[in-house]
Amino acid sequence: MKRIVLPLLLTLAFYGESLFVDLLPPGTIVVDKVFIPHFLLVLLSMMGICYFRNRSLLYAAVFGLLFDIYYTEIIGVYLFLLPIAVYFAAKMSKILHANIFTVAIISSVCVALVETLVYGMNVLVMQITMTPNEFAMMRLLPTLVVNLVFLIIIYFPFSKMLQQRKKEELNE
């Protein structure tokens, strides 16, 4: 039963992103701002910081592939970006002491990295004509705010669960 909890939470975050977009369409709170939830990425980056790095990378690759299949037209974008972001988070946690502030900074950098690289890919494929300034003001900053609020809400219970799970697995 305990082995199912983590994949179940990640799956809920995966589907929670689409529910968030359905319940909060663009322009409902602030006109001309787009809030992109990256709840899965926030959880995966927390896993990279508080849990085993290799397992976190495996979850990131699997859910990145699922994300590509379910949401995008190009297979491989999130398959590579999510593990890179999780690897970055895990390496940064070795330098910085993991607390809510550093996890928030690392997670925000991961979200910004993924969102900016996806924007760059979309510009290269000529799917969008948004300027970098418009992207930063209309999409990136609101996205960082939404994901930071999610991180603040989920940080304490999720990090405690990850630490307990890590202790249990080390004792087995």
Quick one: what percent of the chain has pLDDT higher than 70? 96
pLDDT of residue 28: 66
pLDDT of residue 31: 72
Q: Which CATH class is domain 2-167?
A: mainly alpha
| pLDDT tens sequence for the chain (172 residues) | 778 999 999 999 999 999 998 887 666 667 788 889 999 999 999 999 999 999 999 999 999 999 999 988 778 899 999 999 999 999 999 898 889 999 999 999 999 999 999 999 888 887 778 899 999 999 999 999 999 999 999 999 999 999 999 999 998 7
* Its pTM surpasses 0.85: yes
- Give dist(CA 16, CA 63) in Å, integer: 13
